[in-house]
Structure 1
Amino acid sequence: MRIIIDRDPYLGRPENANGWTRGLWPAAWIGHPETPTPPSVVAYRQRMMLASAVALRIHVSADERYELFLDGTRIGRGSERGDPHNWFFETYDLALAAGPHVMVALVWSLGSAAPVAQMSVYPGLLVAPQEDKYLPLLATGVAEWEATILSGYHFVDVAATRAYYAVGANVVIDGHAFAWGFERGTGTGWQPARVLDPGVNGETRAEYPPLHLLKPVTLPPMLDQLSPPGNVRIVTAPADGDVALIPLRRDDHLPSEQAAWRAWLHDGQPLTLPPETYRRVVIDLERYVCAYPELVVSGGNDSSIRVHWAEALFCEPEATTKGNRNAVDDHYFLGLGDTFLPDGGTERSFRPLWWRCGRYLELVVTTAAEALTLDRLLVHETRYPLEMESTFASSDPRLEQSVPIMVRALQMCAHETYMDCPYYEQLMYAGDTRLEVLVTYVMTRDDRLPRKALRMFDVSRLPSGLTQSRYPSRITQIIPPFALWWVAMVYDYALWRDDLSFVRSLMPGVRAVLDRFYSLMNSDGLVEAPPGWNFMDWVPEWVRGVPPDGELGVSGVINWQLALVLTQVARLEGWLGEDELATRTSKRAATLAAQLSDRFWDGERGLFADDLQRQHFSEHSQCLALLSGVLDAPHAQRVAAGLLRATDLARTTIYFSHYLLEAYTALGHIDALVDRLQLWFDLPGQGFTTTPEAPEPSRSDCHAWGSHPLYHYFASIIGIRPTTPGFRHVEVRPQLGRLTAVHGTLPHPRGQVEVELRVEHTTLTGEITLPNGVAGNMISGGQTVSLTSGRNIVALSS
């Protein structure tokens, strides 16, 4: 059983009394004696004979990743995604009966063929028992571990295909060369493993070469459960050639075979394909799934089974538009996936090394001289165990109907880190993650993934002081606005969760980000475009998502973003007792706002321009100015009117509309907020089961930054928000607009907040329940009612 510990397991060892040996583990990393060049897959085994039953604890890590087997049964996966200075290890408690046992680890190290988010130091395995008496039994570098190269894997680069992929290579598993039964420690080719460097605690070493600096995992195991099998949509016998160029036409469907394929998929009835058969089958999982697929087959020597995944099918082979996501007929399947080459054996289980995702599976099966039996297809869903603990309902059914799509999108983008999207990149971007974390706060009390995100961005810091735009990542990318959004994430955490000591530990990084932006201020006190990719939003009129003058000039959007974040940091400093820093930061925010009002204000339009020439205007500048907290009342009133009425502003898209919805909330225009959600209300009818990256044509069908309206259902419509650090004081500021009733329950660090409100004639009535030890206010229509712990009955004129 895997458990979580919170410290170096070997702190009490004698080595820790000496500064030069402090932090050394009693086990060493091991590798294959031939040191294979990545991409490589190596199996390690340790055979044991126990005279009596034992209970022991072991700590395990590998570079890049491992699957751990005990007596042929997989007991864990890892290592949790990190970086060389935060290389995570998993901890397992084992109970072994007397007799023979074998522990096996499959370790893959793919180098450039791995997902871009997968970092590495060098390939290897580390297993370390907690107690010294078990070191000779299982410790790598002490016990007699053996290794063998699993040569049945081949890796096919997808970098040159139609889109940018950062999820790793497609995999071909050749059953003829594969070491079947390796997980039980059988087969040939096992050699004594080569001992490498000792394990090293990531916190206490005084000197070290490039090593894995070990830290305990912070997250629970990822979900591992069977997903529903879906439905067989079409079966064809395509012509020779690239099937990606052959549309799926109903006229080509083989209805006489569909029942057998469905029985195989749903009931586990084996399906036998005769020799010299060529079939193409499309399976609709009927929802978005991230999963490890497992295909079990018998016979079929020299056959081929290609299993590709797609989020949706395309209207043309150039893969530019998708249309309704439910559509299969007359569409093209262009996907990613793996190919399995059976060797004719019985019950051969083919599994890729890494998970795949999407809604649709395409099986392209070619048999040779021997019949192939497809025994079963299993789809093992994987993701962070994130579930919807809150509830929401309202008098507008469209709001409630959109909730499952947003929840599913966040689940599919939550793994060992948050991700922008599971299909194309699997990278944790700070701009995306801020919104994903806010949604997490209103869904669950579990904040382990948000804490990890905050910490990983903090340790990604560059010499300039900025955090990297995405991390972990082998490739450094700099999006300066995303460093500011990371700072906003720290502010959000301080409000929504109760751990100011954790917030304090992040403040040096917060100040470093601000110092970088201060260094870019010109003589007018405005920030000139920072070096890097100053992405703000996928606005069609903007090049690569960069606002006007965001490449080389002075961007109003970027400067207003800085003003907003300065206001947040001033509050943070005050909460932490740093009054002088709070005052200084507040003054900087006010000074910057004054300069922006002087240089970017268009008095005729009553709007802030995006550029100094006042040629470009966007919703982005207006909503950031309104949210900054340092805009004077006359400007704010005119900006509010202009934001609501101007029709020629560059519009926020799915991602940045979060900030627009925040502005509508601040202005009290909740009906405008609900009207802006029409894109989300339309998603079910368009066949989406998750939120897309951008308005059509959208590259990604699963981008959790589009889940942010779920946050607003609770924080803006029902109006539940923290007003002091740790959510210790709750403000309920409902804005029902055209709604006549709302009801929601929201997880809170100390329990649960429940709000049920309804409009009756001209009165807003209902009940608000707060956790023990928590007080608050309800504010509506200019009236304020004090709330206490427990049940509160409210009635206010609406």
Structure 2
Amino acid sequence: MNQAAGQVPTKVNPQLFKSSWPAFWITTNDAQQREYGIYHFRKVFLLPASVIPKSFLIHVTADNRYRLFVNGKPVCSGPARGDLFNWFYETIDIAPYLTEGENTIAALVWNMGTLAPVAQVSNQTAFLVQGNSATEKMVNTDASWKVKKSTAYTPCSLDNGERLKAYMVVGPGDQVDGRQYAWDWEKTDYDDVSWSNAEEITHPEPIGYGTDNRWTLAPRSIPLFTEHLLRFLTIRRTNGIKVNQDFLTGKKPLKVPSNQRLSILLDQKTMTAAYPELIISGGKGAKIKLTYSEALFDKQGDKGNRNEIDHKEIKGNYDVFIPDGENNRKFRPLWFRAYRYVQLDIMTADDPLILNDIYGMKTGYPLQMNATFSSNEHSLQEIWKTAWHTAQLCAGDLYYDTPYYEQLQYTGDSRIQALISLYTSGDDRLMRKAILDFYHSRTPEGLTQGRYPSNRLQIIPTFSLFWISMVHDYWMHRRDDAFVKQFLPAINEINEWFRSRVDQKKKMLGPLTWWNFVDWDNFNGWGTAPGADDGNSSILTLQYAYTLNQSAELFRAFDLAQQADAQEMLALELSDHTYWYCYNPSNGLVADTPEQKSYSQHAGIWAILSGAVPLQEAQPLMQKILDDKSIGQVTFFYRFYLTQALKKAEMGDLYYKELKPWRDMLKLGLTTFAEKPEPTRSDCHAWSASPDYDFLATICGIMPEASGFRKILIKPALGELTEVSGSMPTPSGKVSVQFKRIGKNGIHAEILLPDQVSGTFSWKGKEIKLRAGTQIITI
């Protein structure tokens, strides 16, 4: 199934953007509308041969989610997650699936109710299809549609957090009883005479229209997901049965005798996000449990080397399938699963079972690698590939922090993910959606929520600052002034929230409310900065000053000089006073608070990034925070900002030596990069994919010198590398660089800039102007 092929948003009927839609949101009266339930919707319609159209556009969405079929064939899934003010719909051309005569359009719709993922916003169970024009109106959802509540589904795996001793909020597993499933319900020849007619709820309303709206519709702004066959690579362990590896090819069915208990551990060899599909025959009354895990656990609950399985067990999210005894029955969960390992635990009854096949349908946001990086050290390629794999798995209908545990979009994570997307793929659509998602999340206080979409309120004030940084990043790397300008009032509100909380005596931030998270493994169990609750945190104050300087650049670019001046003056005042109170000349470090009882790399990083420390003092400070292991250390999240500080202090060459944490993860058998140093919860966490940005932006030194990448700065920081090459997309075209060291301080550079773009090459304090096209520089 290639879902992206059918999406044609450019042909949408303009009338649908400015008035109520003729179709109805529909539901069933056979359910509590906000409770767990899975439903089958279908409609049969006639197409004479003379009127089969070349195009048949429909707009489709559901609450919570749906999977659409036409004549039994899967077409697409959705919607992309949003909120009730921005409820997304997909536009699909289903003409390729239609035939002469009777056709059936059908949808599996589910509502997880109170068990829903935290990322899922909801109103009630509902489904919607709107034909694009008079040609397609025959499929509009109304009371002529048939609906049946499924009795086959029961939620399972409800205690994941307890068993894994971790925060896990992706929703329940699926237990499906094949004896109660309406097999072939999506096909035209299925008899639905006993089904109920759908219940009409209300006419849909687009953004900017309607009153008493239950959902306000917005067109999907990101591409549809694709699915690709992904076979398991090896069987690592069996219990109670011998299994040949040929079973994994799909050509050697496995026979399981009656009244048996057995298990089979499959290894994908790498983390993945996929819909597992299990095809079985016979086995009436058997029970098949599929458990998914990033790694196996020893008796102490530790993962250790991810490749090792001896004396370890699988723990994690699971699904259950109960066969009905018929042939070629397929089990597939409602939503994708993240896993490296999958264990089948099978218990047969009196009827023998045949496992015909098991495989995954790999899915996710279709990020494409359009950048290159290579060097004389091959080990960097493994980091580059693993970081890319991490970024891919954490890109869905949101920027996921982790595909296994949360699938939530956090601003702190998303800023790093967005830069990775821009540098490696050039695709800004998910970044734009994330910026808008957080913009729509704003609270009456003016702050953005820390994660969004979310059905639970969480406010992290530092993440509101990161959202401003994210808008600034977009402005620097893309050319869309109208998109950026709309956020200026919200940016001003966030800055004012912090400004109103400045301690006027010390000119540092006073006590702050909400969760003032900075980084894991530091300060306290919640990663909260010292002084956040009581006031005068150097970390938070200096991050605010850094953000004010970015805000000032944005406001000045849009001819708001007075506001820009005020923001710059406040940033200077905050950074100067914080440095005066918190810098300790005896140890050369910046303390976390004026009491100077604790120190961290974080405080020094923000002192450098905010400009509180002049360059001549930034370098010894930077060296101190690298060398002193007694102070609070950054984890993988804040290593992104450690690298930014290295560059600001003109010490980017040290970045190469700071890659040890990523090398250590590879030695432990991780195939994606983890949330934090061992012991870690998540083995796949987006913020740890930052090397894919830094290899291009730091080692290759490709950075925007002016907004929109209109000018390009090439400032390589090769460290101990002797040869490096890289390329990446920009709004004007591809930038490529090749560097070769000459002795200790010399370099040979070949640089290609896109047409009509100029720039600067900077090496060891020497600057050379660049022009469009290819140029060769030897220093």
Contact between 1:10 and 1:25, CA under 8 Å: does it hold in 2? no
Contact between 1:4 and 1:220, CA under 8 Å: does it hold in 2? no
Match of residue 250 from structure 1: none
Match of residue 50 from structure 1: 47
- For 1:124-139, list aligned pairs within 5 A: 124-135=126-137, 137-139=138-140
Query: What's the offset of the Cα at 1:422?
Result: 0.7
Query: What's the offset of the Cα at 1:544?
Result: 1.0
Question: What is the percentage of aligned positions where both structures have the same residue?
Answer: 33
**Partner SS state of residue 136, structure 2:** helix
Match of residue 500 from structure 1: 481
In 2, the alpha carbon distance for the partners of 1:390 and 1:106 equals: 38
Match of residue 31 from structure 1: 27
Match of residue 714 from structure 1: 696
- For 1:577-596, list aligned pairs within 5 A: 577-596=559-578
Query: What's the offset of the Cα at 1:522?
Result: 2.1
Which ranges of structure 1 fall in alignment gaps of 5 or more residues?
17-21, 238-253
1:172 to 175, 179, 186: 175
Letter in 1 for 2:656: V
Letter in 2 for 1:111: G
**Partner SS state of residue 794, structure 1:** strand
In 2, the alpha carbon distance for the partners of 1:432 and 1:594 equals: 29
1:219 to 222, 227, 230: 222
**Partner SS state of residue 683, structure 1:** helix
Query: What's the offset of the Cα at 1:781?
Result: 1.6
Letter in 1 for 2:43: Q
- 1:211-261 per-position Cα deviation (integer Å, ceiling 9, x unaligned): 110000011111310113220001013xxxxxxxxxxxxxxxx6xx131xx
TM-score with structure 1 length normalisation?
0.93
In 2, the alpha carbon distance for the partners of 1:718 and 1:634 equals: 25
Query: What's the offset of the Cα at 1:662?
Result: 1.2
Relative distance call for 1:784 and 1:635 in structure 2 (3 A) is closer
In 1, the alpha carbon distance for the partners of 2:715 and 2:700 equals: 7
Query: What's the offset of the Cα at 1:571?
Result: 1.0
Match of residue 3 from structure 1: 7
Contact between 1:67 and 1:78, CA under 8 Å: does it hold in 2? yes
In 1, the alpha carbon distance for the partners of 2:523 and 2:620 equals: 25
Q: Does 1:701 pair with 2:683? A: yes
In 2, the alpha carbon distance for the partners of 1:547 and 1:368 equals: 57
In 1, the alpha carbon distance for the partners of 2:653 and 2:613 equals: 24
- For 1:460-609, list aligned pairs within 5 A: 460-524=441-505, 525-609=507-591
Which ranges of structure 2 fall in alignment gaps of 5 or more residues?
none
In 2, the alpha carbon distance for the partners of 1:267 and 1:376 equals: 5
In 2, the alpha carbon distance for the partners of 1:776 and 1:58 equals: 47
- 1:418-454 per-position Cα deviation (integer Å, ceiling 9, x unaligned): 0110111110010011111111111011110111011
Contact between 1:176 and 1:343, CA under 8 Å: does it hold in 2? yes
Relative distance call for 1:644 and 1:97 in structure 2 (3 A) is closer
Query: What's the offset of the Cα at 1:646?
Result: 2.9
RMSD: 1.7
Relative distance call for 1:444 and 1:236 in structure 2 (3 A) is same
Letter in 2 for 1:258: V
- For 1:192-207, list aligned pairs within 5 A: 192-205=197-210
Letter in 1 for 2:303: K
Contact between 1:314 and 1:333, CA under 8 Å: does it hold in 2? yes
Match of residue 311 from structure 1: 294
Match of residue 351 from structure 1: 332
Query: What's the offset of the Cα at 1:346?
Result: 1.0
- 1:614-654 per-position Cα deviation (integer Å, ceiling 9, x unaligned): 01110101011101134345653552343244332211011
Query: What's the offset of the Cα at 1:763?
Result: 2.5
Query: What's the offset of the Cα at 1:36?
Result: 3.6
Count of equivalent residues: 762
Q: Does 1:677 pair with 2:673? A: no
In 2, the alpha carbon distance for the partners of 1:67 and 1:488 equals: 36
Match of residue 76 from structure 1: 76
Relative distance call for 1:170 and 1:644 in structure 2 (3 A) is closer
- For 1:218-257, list aligned pairs within 5 A: 218-237=221-240, 257=242
Contact between 1:2 and 1:90, CA under 8 Å: does it hold in 2? no
Letter in 2 for 1:274: P
1:181 to 171, 184, 188: 184
**Partner SS state of residue 252, structure 2:** coil
Contact between 1:234 and 1:258, CA under 8 Å: does it hold in 2? no
In 2, the alpha carbon distance for the partners of 1:4 and 1:413 equals: 26
Letter in 2 for 1:2: G
Contact between 1:11 and 1:23, CA under 8 Å: does it hold in 2? no
**Partner SS state of residue 75, structure 1:** strand
Letter in 1 for 2:36: P
Letter in 2 for 1:47: V
Letter in 2 for 1:139: N
**Partner SS state of residue 26, structure 1:** coil
Match of residue 739 from structure 2: 757
**Partner SS state of residue 625, structure 1:** helix
**Partner SS state of residue 409, structure 1:** helix
Match of residue 90 from structure 1: 90
Contact between 1:121 and 1:210, CA under 8 Å: does it hold in 2? no
Letter in 1 for 2:648: A
Match of residue 152 from structure 1: 152
Letter in 2 for 1:113: L
**Partner SS state of residue 503, structure 2:** coil
Contact between 2:30 and 2:149, CA under 8 Å: does it hold in 1? no
- For 1:422-433, list aligned pairs within 5 A: 422-433=403-414
Query: What's the offset of the Cα at 1:203?
Result: 2.5
Contact between 2:24 and 2:128, CA under 8 Å: does it hold in 1? yes
Query: What's the offset of the Cα at 1:701?
Result: 0.3
Query: What's the offset of the Cα at 1:10?
Result: 5.0
694-703 or 490-499, which deviates more: 490-499
Contact between 1:557 and 1:624, CA under 8 Å: does it hold in 2? yes
**Partner SS state of residue 610, structure 1:** coil
Match of residue 247 from structure 1: none
Contact between 2:70 and 2:94, CA under 8 Å: does it hold in 1? no
TM-score with structure 2 length normalisation?
0.95
Query: What's the offset of the Cα at 1:551?
Result: 2.9
Relative distance call for 1:366 and 1:741 in structure 2 (3 A) is same
In 1, the alpha carbon distance for the partners of 2:677 and 2:714 equals: 32
In 2, the alpha carbon distance for the partners of 1:599 and 1:629 equals: 15
518-527 or 325-334, which deviates more: 518-527
In 1, the alpha carbon distance for the partners of 2:420 and 2:64 equals: 31
Query: What's the offset of the Cα at 1:530?
Result: 2.1
Contact between 2:512 and 2:535, CA under 8 Å: does it hold in 1? no
